[in-house]
């Protein structure tokens, strides 16, 4: 008599080795950094190491330092391989190291799922929900244009929308239509040195609350609205702003202060109950452990790429749950569809899922490069049931692209002082 359970034990007990790993850089208007790992049995897995504006660094780190150690390892040992590269680096953490480790980790979970014949969310603990809420970006150089943009996304079925608006006398605000790459979903500006944006805190603080008021007047309170301050305020300014916008019931206020100061949110918390989201620049739990323990924010914005892949994001997500913090993983236009897929599996599993930023809107070129059957409908993300991550890179398509130098804009105050982008 032959039992299925014995077959599975057999499958898991025979030796599997990593035979090769290749790194691809580039994409349609983006510098995606993708690793494709192959086992000696020909099972493949993909992972993402894209760092917007610093693309070649994780690619070099992977090729020169990590891949030589990876060959011959058992791809099913996701935890041990993660620890090997994290502890083994000696000079730990930082976005480049963590993105490179993260890419390998995603690819290994992809392989693990394929060997098990299960989608990754099943390996994480199974689905906690059928589909995951996402938010779109509405933007306008003035309030009327912003209201039109919100109407457009609502008509497309989005229930949650991030809003960014041009400020009079400060036309080049972060996330404002046409002014920076975050609003140009498909095309990155590959020309020249960093562009300069001018910032004026007082103009912003005076104008922005009125924008929320007009949105609530026009759309009521059912629509979930989010807003990204993009690290621009000092703690006292952010506390005053958060207190003032409380009546408009934001879903979240994002990055009100620079994320490197773990205690900056204290003052905001003392003055306002507005939900705070932070963490897209964090690359490990050590960047946010203290503020999580003190419950200083409500949504954690880490990404599978910058914060060390599925293994580390799962650890951060569990720790967040103990402190009433929900997930709101990063997903800007520069985000690779592979990282989005890894996050989608975490989102489907996480008991403390909150929302997902989603802007990797499929162009024909992007879909040809990263074939998958994950899909979006009515502002909800549906995760593919294919074994593994449910996404691949088409290696022939990948050969069409290469790295092109590109920078984020920089920000200065009106008198020329450098400020936070």
Binding residues for ligand KDG, per CB under 6 A? 52, 182, 228, 230, 280, 330, 332, 334, 357, 408
Q: Which of Mg ion, ligand KDG, none interacts with 182 (beta carbon under 5 to 8 A by kind)?
A: ligand KDG
Q: Where are the alpha helices (DSSP H) in 272-323?
A: 289-293, 309-322
Task: Answer yes or no: 174 catalytic.
Answer: yes
- Using CA atoms, how far apart are residues 39 and 93, in angstroms rounded to an integer? 27
Provide the residue count of the chain. Answer: 421
Name the residue whose CB lies closest to Mg ion: 228
Q: Does 228 bind Mg ion (CB under 5 A)?
A: yes
- Beta carbons of 48 and 62 less than 8 angstroms apart: no
- CB of 188: closest distance to Mg ion in angstroms? 17
- CB of 255: closest distance to Mg ion in angstroms? 5
Which of 227, 230, 271, 345 is catalytic? The answer is 230
CB-based contacts of 247: which residues, under 8 Å, 6+ apart?
Answer: none
Binding region for Mg ion (CB under 5 A) out of 2-10, 225-233, 258-266, 282-290: 225-233
Q: Which of ligand KDG, Mg ion, none interacts with 105 (beta carbon under 5 to 8 A by kind)?
A: none
Which residue lies nearer to ligand KDG by CB, 329 or 401? 329
- CB of 249: closest distance to ligand KDG in angstroms? 20
Pairing assessment for the beta strands 410-413 and 196-199 based on DSSP bridges: parallel
Strand (E) or helix (H) holding 419: strand 418-419
Q: Which of Mg ion, ligand KDG, none interacts with 357 (beta carbon under 5 to 8 A by kind)?
A: ligand KDG
Which residue lies nearer to ligand KDG by CB, 349 or 358? 358
Task: Answer yes or no: 137 catalytic.
Answer: no
Binding region for Mg ion (CB under 5 A) out of 220-228, 233-241, 266-274, 369-377: 220-228
Which residue lies nearer to ligand KDG by CB, 280 or 287? 280
Q: Which of ligand KDG, Mg ion, none interacts with 326 (beta carbon under 5 to 8 A by kind)?
A: none
In 3D space, the residue among 349, 375, 337, 358 whose CA is nearest the CA of residue 134 turns out to be 358
Which of 32, 121, 158, 174 is catalytic? The answer is 174
Q: Which of Mg ion, ligand KDG, none interacts with 27 (beta carbon under 5 to 8 A by kind)?
A: none
Which residue lies nearer to ligand KDG by CB, 284 or 334? 334
- CB of 175: closest distance to Mg ion in angstroms? 8
CB atoms within 10 A of CB 4: 7
Which residue lies nearer to ligand KDG by CB, 30 or 330? 330
Which residue lies nearer to Mg ion by CB, 172 or 228? 228
Q: Which of ligand KDG, Mg ion, none interacts with 52 (beta carbon under 5 to 8 A by kind)?
A: ligand KDG
- Using CA atoms, how far apart are residues 137 and 164, in angstroms rounded to an integer? 8
Q: Which residue has the tokens 């293994």?
A: 311
Which residue lies nearer to ligand KDG by CB, 317 or 334? 334
Taking phi first (over 0 means left), then psi (-120 to 50 degrees means alpha), and beta for anything else, what does residue 398 get? Answer: alpha
In 3D space, the residue among 287, 306, 305 whose CA is nearest the CA of residue 297 turns out to be 287
Size of the site for Mg ion (CB under 5 A): 1
Q: Which residue has the tokens 């077959």?
A: 7
- CB of 359: closest distance to ligand KDG in angstroms? 7
Binding region for Mg ion (CB under 5 A) out of 210-218, 223-231, 335-343, 365-373: 223-231
Q: What is the DSSP letter of 233?
A: S
Q: Which of Mg ion, ligand KDG, none interacts with 332 (beta carbon under 5 to 8 A by kind)?
A: ligand KDG
Q: What is the DSSP letter of 353?
A: B
The DSSP code sequence of 159-193 is SEEEEEE-BTTBTT-TT-TTTSGGGSSS----SSS
CB atoms within 10 A of CB 415: 6
The DSSP code sequence of 354-375 is --EE------HHHHHHS-B--E
In 3D space, the residue among 340, 386, 302, 344 whose CA is nearest the CA of residue 93 turns out to be 302
- CB of 279: closest distance to Mg ion in angstroms? 9
- CB of 332: closest distance to Mg ion in angstroms? 7
Q: Where are the alpha helices (DSSP H) in 257-308?
A: 265-271, 289-293
Give the active site residues.
174, 230
By the criterion CB under 5 A, which residues form the site for Mg ion?
A: 228
């Amino acid at each position: 008599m032959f039992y299925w359970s014995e077959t599975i034990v057999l499958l898991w007990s025979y030796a599997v080795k990593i035979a090769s790993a290749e790194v691809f850089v580039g994409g349609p208007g983006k510098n995606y950094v993708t690793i494709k790992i192959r086992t000696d049995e020909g099972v493949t897995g993909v992972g993402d190491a894209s760092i917007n504006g610093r693309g070649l660094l994780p690619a070099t780190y992977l090729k020169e330092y990590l891949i030589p150690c990876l060959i011959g390892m058992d791809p099913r040992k996701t935890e041990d391989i993660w620890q090997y590269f994290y502890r083994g680096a000696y000079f730990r953490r930082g976005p480049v190291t963590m993105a490179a480790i993260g890419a390998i980790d995603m690819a290994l979970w992809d392989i693990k799922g394929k060997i098990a014949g299960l989608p990754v969310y099943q390996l994480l603990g199974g689905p906690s929900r059928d589909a995951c809420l996402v938010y779109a970006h509405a933007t306008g150089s003035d309030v009327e244009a912003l209201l039109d943009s919100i109407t457009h996304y609502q008509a497309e079925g989005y229930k949650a929308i991030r809003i960014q608006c041009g400020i009079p006398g400060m036309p080049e605000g972060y996330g404002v239509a046409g002014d920076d790459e975050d609003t140009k979903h498909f095309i990155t500006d590959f020309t020249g040195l960093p562009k300069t944006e001018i910032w004026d805190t007082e103009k912003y603080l005076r104008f922005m609350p009125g924008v929320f008021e007009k949105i609530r007047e026009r759309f009521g309170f059912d629509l979930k609205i989010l807003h990204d301050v993009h690290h621009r305020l000092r703690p006292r300014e952010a506390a005053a702003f958060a207190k003032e916008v409380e009546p408009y019931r934001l879903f979240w206020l994002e990055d009100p202060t620079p994320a490197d100061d773990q205690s900056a949110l204290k003052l905001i918390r003392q003055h306002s109950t507005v939900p705070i989201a932070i963490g897209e620049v964090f690359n490990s739990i050590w960047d946010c452990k203290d503020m999580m323990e003190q419950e200083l924010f409500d949504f954690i914005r880490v990404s599978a790429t910058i914060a060390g892949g599925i293994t580390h994001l799962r650890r951060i997500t569990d720790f967040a749950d103990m402190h009433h913090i929900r997930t709101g993983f990063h997903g800007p236009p520069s985000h690779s569809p592979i990282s989005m897929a890894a996050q989608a599996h975490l989102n489907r599993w996480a008991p403390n899922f909150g929302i997902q930023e989603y802007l990797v809107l499929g162009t024909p070129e992007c879909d040809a490069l990263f074939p998958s059957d994950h899909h979006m409908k009515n502002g909800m993300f549906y995760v593919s049931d294919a074994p593994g991550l449910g996404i691949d890179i088409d290696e022939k398509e990948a050969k069409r692209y290469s790295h092109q130098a590109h920078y984020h804009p920089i920000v200065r105050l009106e008198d020329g002082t450098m400020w936070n982008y």
